[in-house]
Copies of this chain bind each other. A is one copy, B any other.
Amino acid sequence: MTAHTAPAFKASDYKSDIKPVWCPGCGDYHVLLSVTRALAELGRRPEDVACISGIGCSSRIPAYVNCYGFHGVHGRSLPIGTGLKVARPDLTVLVAGGDGDGFSIGGNHFQHACRRNIDITYIVMDNRVYGMTKGQPSPTTEPDWDSALSPGGTGLSPFHPLVIALASGANFVARTFSGDPNRTTEVLVEAIKHPGFSFVQILSPCVTFRPDERGWKDVVHTAAVEETDDPARAARRIMTDDGFNIGILYRGNRAPYKLTGREATSDTDQLGEMFAI
């Protein structure tokens, strides 16, 4: 972090001049606000930050942030972020997207990114629905939520992203609520600062397909217990919570990914010599 030498930044320095296409009322506006505030608090130069996403309403966020951005294909944001961070360890890499993008089509990369523990921050705007494609159930959707594609509900118990993150080896696991931008900003600051893979689930209502989610503001509550660095304890806690428990739920101390022996000790001519008989 270069916060101490960097000039002071305002949240608005991280906002681009492109206006979101999101529905008024969408929780993602709040997320955008929190992300820009967090970056300003960290004081990282906008050009040293990259924000990578997949496809979905939430995945539109890179264009709205005045950093380097990549709006990739559906479900593949984490590999792009991983490649970028390994190739360019000097950058601050944020990866962001939705619950469908991250936990359905992107579920494999999610697990493996946690396991790889590269120093990036992954933000999932979880609205328990596929917004962009008009309201199909996502892995976090309640089993009885009725929709055209799953009339009467899927009947499937929802996916626990935070447990999966923990079990897979993420080094920082938190849940926040978009409608609480201060706390969200705070958590994001911590997540970005924490070494290794940080995962932040932001409950972010979809007012268009899940208008019931406006009620989330009344049910979210602060985690009753202290954060822990014991993954087994954290997992047990999260597996038994109600999904609306807000806060930093795990802050681990596993060493972040580092490739050993990566020093330019040779050149391509020398490498060619290995084939000489």
Quick check: B159 and A164 within 8 Å, CB to CB? no
Give min CB distance, A86 to chain B, whole Å: 12
Identify which of A31-39, A92-100, A185-193, A230-238 touches chain B: A230-238
Contacts of A235 on B, CB cut-off 8 Å?
Answer: 163, 167, 232, 235-236, 239
Contacts of A111 on B, CB cut-off 8 Å?
Answer: 107-108, 111, 159, 164
Interface flag for A157 (CB, 8 Å): yes
Give min CB distance, A120 to chain B, whole Å: 15
Interface flag for A62 (CB, 8 Å): no
Interface flag for A260 (CB, 8 Å): yes
- Nearest residue (CB) in B for A240 is B232
Quick check: B169 and A167 within 8 Å, CB to CB? no
Interface flag for A251 (CB, 8 Å): no
Interface flag for A134 (CB, 8 Å): no
Total copies of the chain: 2
- Nearest residue (CB) in B for A107 is B108
Interface flag for A116 (CB, 8 Å): yes
A115 in complex: contacting residue of B151, B157, B258, CB < 8 Å: B157
Chosen A-B contacts, 13 in total, with CB atoms closer than 8 Å, are A105-B108, A111-B111, A151-B261, A155-B258, A156-B257, A164-B167, A164-B168, A232-B235, A232-B236, A232-B240, A233-B236, A235-B235, A235-B239
Residues of A within 8 A of B (CB): 104-108, 111-112, 115-117, 139, 151-152, 155-157, 159-160, 163-164, 167-169, 231-233, 235-236, 239-240, 254, 257-261
For the complex with contacts A156-B169, A159-B169, A160-B167, 20 further pairs of A-B residues with Cβ separation under 8 Å are: A105-B108, A106-B108, A107-B108, A107-B112, A111-B111, A111-B159, A111-B164, A115-B156, A115-B157, A151-B261, A155-B257, A155-B258, A155-B260, A157-B169, A163-B167, A164-B164, A164-B168, A232-B240, A235-B235, A236-B236
